[in-house]
Amino acid sequence: LSLLAGVSLAPTFLTGAARLARATRSGWGFRSDAARRALPWDAEGQKQEEKAWEVFSSEFTKAAEAGELMGDPCDRGTITARYAGLSSLFGGDVALEMIRKEPIVLFW
């Protein structure tokens, strides 16, 4: 018992917690969204991202061509990333239905 009195587990725990926080911010080890989307089991998510872009670009044609709307970026990468955020909150099908009904939700 006296041997364990001087040992602190806090640095190990904090290191693990910091590593976990860093992994969550960076997408569990992937450096970019492009790397994460390249995974073969995410083909359905890629199709839904493309559908989300098609819905958005058909509704906001000039903004999609210009790449911005009222100062906010709205290029293909930004819109698909926003859709990915929505789908992580609500699921892919629900997020796609939300965008079909109100594509402006991609500017939240």
pLDDT (tens digit, 9 = 90+) per residue, 43-62? 677 889 999 999 999 999 99
Average model confidence (pLDDT) across the chain: 75
Q: Please list, in sequence order, all residues whose beta carbon lies within 8 angstroms of the beta carbon of residue 44, skipping any fewer than 6 positions away.
A: 92
Higher pLDDT, 65 or 31: 65
Which amino acid makes up residue 16?
G
pLDDT of residue 46: 84
pLDDT of residue 25: 45
For the cut 60, the answer to whether the pLDDT of residue 19 exceeds it is: no
pLDDT of residue 32: 54
61, containing H or E segment: helix 61-66
Span 3-10, mean pLDDT? Answer: 52
For the cut 60, the answer to whether the pLDDT of residue 11 exceeds it is: no
Q: What are the C-alpha distances in Å from 53 to residues 2, 6, 47, 103, 107?
A: 63, 58, 10, 10, 13
For the cut 70, the answer to whether the pLDDT of residue 6 exceeds it is: no
User: Which residues in 67-85 are b (16+ Cβ under 10 Å) and which e?
Assistant: eebeeeebeeeebbbbbbe
For the cut 80, the answer to whether the pLDDT of residue 36 exceeds it is: no
pLDDT of residue 51: 94
- What is the distance between the alpha carbons of residues 5 and 1, in angstroms, rounded to a whole number? 7
